[in-house]
Structure 1
Amino acid sequence: MLLPPYQEACNPGFCDCPFPNSIEVTNHKGHIPDLVRCRCGEDEPGNVNAWRWHATDESDAVVNDRDIIFHPTYSQGTAIVRGEHALKANMVHFWEMRVITTLAGTDVMFGIGTESVNLGQFKFHFVSALGTNAQSWGFSYSGRIQHCGELLPYGQKFSQGCLIGVCLDRTRGHLEFYLNRRSLGVAYTNVPTDPDVKIYPMVCSTAAKSVIRLINCTSQPVSLQLRSFQALSRQPLKLAELRQMPGLKGIIQSYWFLAPPIRYSRNSRENELDLGDEAVLSSSKQRLRRKQKYRETDDAAVDEDDLYANAHKITLRSSDSGDEEHTATVQEMCDEYFHYLL
């Protein structure tokens, strides 16, 4: 099946640091993560290093501290790895992973799953493992999301050098993904909030010698302060004012993941996106239909005009016209949310 045009291009990496090519990875006899010197984006203020990956014999993967080396010899199926600790209820959890190697093959996915997920279920089958049933939710390197076996368009394809962030709100049951520090919008609103349901961070891969590194993770209790900052993080002009107040420095560091610092690669800057398309100009009725298509539950109260929550549904395209009049018209139409998100 052919992917939509906006998924064919691969998103550039988070930074311009060198990464090993496939031949170097294949021929390397030592620890593959040692080939990478990049530390961009690691150890952000407020990062509490709350957990590591869980090592188990159920999965064909080697866990070394924060690194996962999937199928270190050769691949004969899908390996699933989960975090060592369940993510507590009544908290907002965020973790960020760096893609060390080129992603290829059937699928590489990032997401969450309950304790009912069988980590060895697809050891000899090449599948998109996360989201095959109701017990897990996944975000594929193809740019799609999956739950209950249903694959849906969500973002752009990504690979080596990218940062994948996952934000799980266990109070509201919301799951949101980030790509290179940019929110892709709320993907699902049906994650169990019941504290008796144990939910773990998970990654799966079918690609031999594929490496994923956990670089940041934090968990914050839900409070009025967090919700207030969450609302302000969607308004970059207000957020800029907050950053100028010395007394709020500690609060901003605690909630850094809601408005993470962005580092553009040279490739990213050379491929700035033009927002003047039919998605921006579409009517409220069209946006409502699009929202309903992506909504997992009927009771999910997501504002159709909330650009932050619906950002991943906006089709993007590049502009080579250089038409200054057209650019000015687009800028007049786009409010501060678009300048921040896109």
Structure 2
Amino acid sequence: MLTTQQEARCPGFCDCTFPSCTDVNDHNGPITNLVKCICGEDSGNGLQWKWHHSEESDVQIDGRDIIFHPIYSQGTAIVRGDQLLEADKVHFWEMRVITALAGTDVMFGIGTDGVNLEQFKFHFVSALGTNAQSWGYSYNGRTQHCGEQLPYGQKFSQGCLVGIFLDRMRGHLEFYLNRRSLGVAYTNIPTNPNTKIYPMVCSTAAKSVIRLINSTSQVATLQLRAFQTLTKHPQRLEELRNMPGLKGILRSYWFLAPPVRYSRRSKEHELDLGDEAVLSSSKRLGRKQKYKDPDDEDTDDLYANAHKIPLRRNDSGDEEYTTSVHEFCDEFFHYLL
């Protein structure tokens, strides 16, 4: 019988075979050899950065994989990316959890160059977010910054995909779980280009493995912002997917409308296309208000105010969005200009 904690945990993204704890402990070779990918996610959409290797850290870097504490754990290991996340861009990266997670904490997030990667080498702590220099999302479903932990999403473990969307132009940090947005977690990320920020992961769990699946950075253009707003209207977006001239744009910004969960085993947990986008506005607003200061509201933010695009009335007198994709785009870009 499943425990309450297991029932609350998010199911894996796909039906690939992952190693059990016994398999991991008994295996003498690379743990990643035990993973048999059948969903194709391991091929990814390209990597624009990789993990930074440090001789002082208790980790092994094997291509896209981080093997934390390969023999036994005596504290917390922190790993960062090998490239800065530039201030004039938006950044998205995804990581797959290869092994079962346990112990004090396993966290995903970002940190500045002020983070001491060896600070907790002999201490079991939730390392990301212990101070103002980092922001973290725990496998226990909580976010942390400046030592304050807040409830945020489901608990998760082996087989899940954790995505991170960092908008350095706006200073927003958002996490995804199995390609579902959990909402904006923080709006206080430094936008100053002199502040150096890196992707980071930390773990206290022995022989825990995290794999980098995708990493991309895009200049925050008007085109990106327009597409970002269209993702809030999944029916319109699906029509755009069938327009040959826009397929290149869709591929470039795939992370703003990622594919739905692959797993056939957990199909009953899925919602329809764009489930996050079609949540009622009150639910989305309620989720974000927990982490956002009302004084920070930007009335000129086109992305936040895209819902104000004019509606029209149908023959029955009810308001509705324009039914033509072309009319929708015309109205939207008229609003932008």
Q: TM-score, normalised by structure 2?
A: 0.81
Q: Is residue 112–residue 197 contact of structure 2 (8 Å, CA) maintained in 1?
A: yes
Q: SS of the counterpart of 1:294?
A: coil
Q: How does 1:29-44 map to 2 (within 5 A)?
A: 29-38=28-37, 40-44=40-44
Query: Could you tell me how far 1:272 is from its partner in structure 2?
Result: 5.0
Question: Per the alignment, in what secondary structure is the counterpart of residue 267 of structure 1?
Answer: coil
The 1:246/1:86 distance shift into structure 2, 3 A limit, reads: same
Separation (CA, whole Å) in 2 of partners of 1:258 and 1:76: 39
The 1:291/1:216 distance shift into structure 2, 3 A limit, reads closer
Q: 1:6 to 1:20 in 2, by over 3 A?
A: closer
Runs of 5+ unmatched residues, structure 2: 273-278, 307-320, 322-337
Write the distance in 1 (CA, Å) between the matches of 2:248 and 2:90.
Answer: 18
2:237 is paired with a residue whose SS is helix
Mark the structure with the bigger radius of gyration: 2
Deviation at 1:66, TM superposition (A): 0.7
2:145 pairs, out of 147, 164, 172, with 147
The residue aligned with 1:20 is 19
Within-5 A mapping of 1:274-289: none
Provide the C-alpha distance between the structure 1 equivalents of 2:102 and 2:76, rounded to a whole number of angstroms: 13
What aligned pairs does 1:1-342 form with structure 2 within 5 A after superposition?
Answer: 9-38=8-37, 40-44=40-44, 47-271=45-269, 291-295=288-292, 298-301=295-298
* 1:278-321 deviations in Å (ceiling 9; x for gaps): xx89x96x987765432267414499xx7x9xxxxxxxxxxxxx
- TM, length-normalised to structure 1: 0.80
Provide the alpha-carbon RMSD of the alignment: 2.7
Distance in 2 between the 1:301 and 1:21 partners?
48
Compute the displacement of 1:48 (Å): 3.7
Contact 1:15 1:40 in 2 (8 A): no
Question: CA contact under 8 A between 1:10 and 1:158: conserved in structure 2?
Answer: yes
Deviation at 1:209, TM superposition (A): 0.1
Q: Deviations over 1:172-198 (max 9, x none)?
A: 011011111111111111000111111
Cα 1:151–1:231 change in 2 (3 A) is same
Contact 2:183–2:288, Cα closer than 8 Å, also in 1? no
Give CA deviations for 1:153-208 in whole Å, capped at 9, x if unaligned. Answer: 11001100111100101100110111111111111110001111110000000000
Percent identity (aligned): 70
Residues 266, 289 of structure 1: alpha-carbon distance in 2 compared, 3 angstrom cutoff: closer
Q: Structure 1 counterpart of 2:140, which letter?
A: S
Number of corresponding residues: 294
**Unmatched runs of 5 consecutive residues or more in structure 1:** 275-279, 309-334, 336-342
Amino acid in structure 2 at the alignment position of 1:80:
I
How far off is 1:253 after superposition? 0.1
Change (3 A) 1:40 1:220: same
